[in-house]
Every structure is written in structure tokens, then in C-alpha cells.
Amino acid sequence: MAEAPFVIQLAGYVLDFHQRNRCRRCGPDGWCPRVAMARAQLTVWRQRKQRAR
């Protein structure tokens, strides 16, 4: 199996980090633009991967 692109690996690390800690951009309600961007990147990558099958 091919390794995930570096950007996708970083997106996974962002989500991992935010499960344990908040960053300085996290709002009081828990919303964070970094998490939103990481989730969007992972979603697009997963959809492309499924279409390639």
C-alpha cells in the first residue's frame, strides 16, 4: 500500500493534537480553523482514494 501524502499525514497529526490539547486558534466553543481545514483535506483525499478503486 502506498504511503499517504505528507499533507495528509500532517492533517492527521493536527487532528491528533487537537484531541489532546487546544491550540491558540481554538475558540472557547472548541471550533478551530486548523481542525476544519485538516478534516476537509482528509475528506477530499478519502473521496479521491475511493474513486480510484
pLDDT digits (tens, 9 = 90+) for 27-42: 988 899 999 999 999 9
Residue 47 — very low, low, confident or very high, per pLDDT cuts 50/70/90?
A: very high
Total domains in the fold of the chain: 1
User: Is the pLDDT score of 1 beyond 60?
Assistant: no
In this prediction, residue 46 carries a pLDDT of 93
pTM equals 0.81
Residue 18: which domain range? 6-52
Residue 25 lies in a domain: yes
User: Is the pLDDT score of 53 beyond 80?
Assistant: no
| CA gap 23, 7 in Å, rounded | 19
Residue among 4, 40, 33, 3 nearest 18 (CA): 33
Residue 1 lies in a domain: no
Average pLDDT, the chain: 90
